[in-house]
Structures are given as C-alpha cells and as structure tokens.
Amino acid sequence: MIRAGKKLYQLSSREFRLPIYVNNGQVITEAADDIPLLSWPDGGWCFEGNFYMLDLYYRGLSRINKGGTLLAYATNISHLLRFCFFNKINLIDLSDNQFILFIKLLQGEKLHSKSEISIRDANTVIAIGRNCLDFLNYIGKLNFQPNFIASQGQIRAELKVSVGNSASLSSQSKINKTYWHHRSFPTPDPKVKRLPISTDAIKKLWGIVQSSSKSIFVRKRRYVMLKLLEITGGRRSEIALLKIKDILNASEMTTPFLKIRTLKKRGGIEVYREIPIARHDIAYLIEFVEKNRQRVIRTTCGKSNDEGYLLVNENTGKKIQANTVTQEVSILAKAAGLKEKICPHMFRHRFITKLFVALIEQHNFENLEDFRRALLDKEALKQKVQQWTGHSNLDSLDIYIHLAFDEVTTFKKTYNVVQTMQIIESFKHTLDQIEGELFNGVPPKLVVENLKNLVDALQNDLKVSNEILIISEQSILND
C-alpha cells in the first residue's frame, strides 16, 4: 500500500552550506540552501534518499524558488519511500513485481473511497515512475549492484534515448535526452498545449483588479504583475525574481532593456536575457516602488533587511513565491468570470507567438520551414530569439511557430515596428488602471501628475521605437 501523510522532506535553511574540500586546513563550503532533506514516514533519517538528493545537487538540478527541480524529485520518490516503508521492503531488495504493484497503486488511487476519479493522470504516474527508477538506479550503484535496474536486471527497466528533431539555437548538434521506461507504465495521455491568452481575457483581468483587491498595495502589485507578464514573456518564477536595481538600470539606458534571469538552465549557472522595455512602463514600475512598495518595506522587514526584489509579500516584505503569481492570476480569472483555464504561462505563449508573427511579417517568410531554416542559418536572428524567449532548443519553439503562421494566414497583420504595438497595448492597460483609480477616490491632482509623466515617457518611446525593432533588417541581410 501507499499511505498518504505528512510530507517526507524539509528544505535546508538559507544559511546551510555544504563542505566541498579542505584548503590549508580550512574547510571550503558552498551555498546549499533549499535542498530537500528526506525522512522515512516514521521520522527516521533516509540516508539513501539524502545521498540521492546530494547527487542531484551535484548534477546541477535547479533548487530555485523553494526547492525547484530537486523538490519535484523529492516529492516523486516520496511515494516509493512510503510504499517500501509500509510494506517492510528494503530499497535494494525491491523486486520487479513489487515495482509493478507500486505503479498500479499509483494509477489506482482515487480522490476518495466513493470516487471514480483518479488522483493522478497517466503522465503524472509516468513522471513519478521515471524519477523513482533513476533513484533506484542510484541505489544499485550505491550498493555495487550495477544490474539492479537493467533490461534483464532485478527490476527490468530500460534507459531510452530520444533524439531532438532539430538543432539547438546555439549549435547545429542534435539534442539527446535519456529517460527510464518500464513495461508497467501506462500509455501516456496526449499532452495539452495551452493556447496564448486572448486579448479579451487580458482586458477582463485588468478590469477586475480594482474591485477584487483587499488593499491598495495588493491592487497595485496585481497591476504590476499583469504588466510584467505581458511585456516580458517571463515565466512566473522569472517574474518573481525581478529586482529593483534592474529596473533602475534600464531607466538609465538610451534604449532601455530589462535584465531577466532565465530559469530552466542546468548546472547552477545564472543566465540572464535582456528584453526591450518602454519608458512609460519603467516609469510605471518605479512609481509602484516609490509609492507602494517602500511603505510595505518600512512597516514590515525594514530597509536594512530589504532584499531588493520588486514583488514582495504585503505582510513580510519578502519576495513572493512563483506560486503566488499563479494564485493571483487564478483569483483574478475567477473574479472576472472567465470560464477557460487561465495561468501565467499563457502570457508567455502570447508574447512568443506575437514575436514570431512580427518576424514572419517583417521578413516575409513564406512557410514554416523557411522560418525554421532562418533560425538555424542566420546567427543574428537565432541569438535575438534566444535572448527574448530564454529558449535554447528549437524543438520547444515549434508550437509558437505554428500558432504564429496560423495567425498570419488568418489575419495578415502588418507589424512594421513590433515594439510600437507593444508600447500602445501596454499603455492602454495603464490608462484603464488610472481610470479605475479616479473612480475609487484617488485625488485628481495626483492622477494628472502621474498621467503627464507617463505621457511624456510614451512620447519618448514612440520617438525612438524605430531603433528598438525586434530584428534589425540590415543585420539579418549582412549575417
């Protein structure tokens, strides 16, 4: 059986450092916060699980935003730890039939005793199974049993390889991915790709913020959050990691670019990209910092403990978590009466699709294959796409390329200057918010002053927009 219960892990503290080596009698350490520390269901220390977490740490798996990918692995192998614990099975003694039973139990678990609805879909079961096989393979190595997990081993699983259909944006080499497979795994469910969020849905989200927010700070933070999702195409975790210093740095540039950390990168290396940002949007963000965020910092953690993140918790002054971005968008969608599923990543879908629509129109690509070939052959184009989207593998962009060609075929829009379109759309949403502020009693004098500053910034944006093209035509021709 697999008994649900309290979670089997806790994250290492922010101060935790891992000893690496000794140099001249001094122990050299490195930051190792937010590593999941595993226990058995009875509270006993799980040595095998924690050695495995350490191995994943050394592999460079992300632990950003409260554990990241390491936490996903810890959560998934917790199911196997519970199964082995309650059935009194040592991990190294687990048989193939017992592993099959484990997978069937994962599939068969229902929401409650009278329900026919399974807790997990097929893809979730497969993901858990693959993580558990990787863990068991590590257990085999730990116990000097290399055939513990093998096609004819104690547990009969295979390590398979999938080859990417096209090259990465950074090189012409193929992408090989390995994954574990076991015959007990269910047939995968079709993967559902969410479409980009619609213009109408965005308008409704903006429109409901005013009446659904419990405080001025929450209201302004929600406006800022929606704007950032729109204008940056950032993942929810990337939005949560934005810092004030990066906004201020952008404000000092002749042609403003906002630096955003790119997540989903292995190896523990911090990677950043730069996204063009309009001056009126910079002014809007700085106003939020000076009039709303600073007040929260003063009344909570204090200036000396301010970590510098743009989006903070109203009660603590600390950085919000990625899940908060999802929760806030969900709350607004529900309040706005939106029937379709809305999530932050749909803003990213929209951003990238619009980027590709613009590229197709600007450079007159006739079909999908011409566009894909240009991404591979023209270095300037490839680097710009990578910089704006944070993608490194061309395969993962296919869905956006298809959507973009569908949109071009259907509407035949002309995007001579993409940045101008983004500027106007973003400014319209800012005006909607200002209108709401007036209806809710904000002094007209303050509104007019704010509006003048934003209009000045907008005029400057439009004046220089020709210099902020997504791709310089000349650089493509010369590449």
25 in a domain, yes or no? Answer: yes
Q: What is the dihedral of CA 259, 260, 264, 269, to 10 degrees?
A: 40
**Whole-angstrom distance, CA of residue 374 vs CA of residue 366:** 12
**Whole-angstrom distance, CA of residue 253 vs CA of residue 285:** 16
Q: Are residues 40 and 143 in the same domain?
A: yes
**Whole-angstrom distance, CA of residue 401 vs CA of residue 393:** 13
- DSSP H or E segment with residue 177: strand 176-182
Question: How far, rounded to the nearest angstrom, does the alpha carbon of residue 16 sit from its chain's CA centroid?
Answer: 25
* CATH number of the domain where residue 246 is located: 1.10.443.10
421 in a domain, yes or no? Answer: yes
216 in a domain, yes or no? Answer: yes
- DSSP H or E segment with residue 180: strand 176-182
What are the φ/ψ torsions at residue 269 (nearest 5 degrees)? -90, 130
Q: Are residues 174 and 31 in the same domain?
A: yes
Residues 6 or more apart in contact with residue 345 via CB below 8 angstroms: 194, 235, 236
Q: Are residues 253 and 355 in the same domain?
A: yes
Q: What does the pLDDT profile of the chain (479 residues) look like in tens digits?
A: 555 567 899 999 888 888 888 888 888 888 888 899 999 999 999 999 999 999 999 888 888 777 788 999 999 999 999 999 999 999 999 999 999 999 999 998 887 666 677 888 899 999 999 999 999 999 999 999 989 999 999 999 999 987 654 444 444 455 568 899 999 999 988 766 667 888 889 999 999 999 999 999 999 999 999 999 999 989 999 999 999 999 999 999 998 999 998 876 555 567 888 888 989 999 999 999 999 999 999 999 999 999 999 999 999 999 998 999 999 999 999 999 998 889 999 998 888 877 777 666 666 666 666 666 666 555 555 566 666 676 655 556 666 666 666 655 544 443 344 556 667 777 777 777 777 777 777 787 777 777 777 777 777 776 655 444 433 333 333 33
At 81, list the tokens.
Answer: 């730890």
pLDDT for 221 equals 97
Q: Are residues 308 and 380 in the same domain?
A: yes
42 in a domain, yes or no? Answer: yes
Q: Are residues 139 and 216 in the same domain?
A: no
187 in a domain, yes or no? Answer: no
Q: Are residues 147 and 257 in the same domain?
A: no
1 in a domain, yes or no? Answer: no
Q: Are residues 225 and 263 in the same domain?
A: yes
Bridge partners, residue 30, by sequence: 18
pLDDT for 266 equals 55
* Neighbour-count burial for 107-143, b at 16+ CB within 10 Å, e otherwise: beeeeeeeeeeeebeeebbbbbbbbbbbbbbbbbebe
Looking at 156, 182, 208, the residue that finishes a domain is: 182
The boundaries of the domain holding residue 61 are 9-182
Looking at 152, 182, 212, the residue that finishes a domain is: 182
Q: Are residues 268 and 172 in the same domain?
A: no
Question: What is the tally of structural domains in the chain?
Answer: 2
- DSSP H or E segment with residue 227: helix 216-232
What are the φ/ψ torsions at residue 16 (nearest 5 degrees)? -65, 130
Residue at token pair 């229902």: 110
Q: In Å, how far are 21, 30, 76, 157, 268 from 27, measured between CA atoms?
A: 6, 10, 33, 41, 21
Q: In Å, how far are 277, 279, 423, 463 from 456, measured between CA atoms?
A: 15, 9, 13, 11
Q: Are residues 284 and 403 in the same domain?
A: yes
**Whole-angstrom distance, CA of residue 246 vs CA of residue 260:** 8
Looking at 118, 147, 182, the residue that finishes a domain is: 182
191 in a domain, yes or no? Answer: no
Q: Are residues 258 and 313 in the same domain?
A: yes
**Whole-angstrom distance, CA of residue 426 vs CA of residue 443:** 23
407 in a domain, yes or no? Answer: yes
Q: Are residues 333 and 361 in the same domain?
A: yes
Q: Are residues 258 and 284 in the same domain?
A: yes
**pTM reported for the whole predicted model:** 0.66
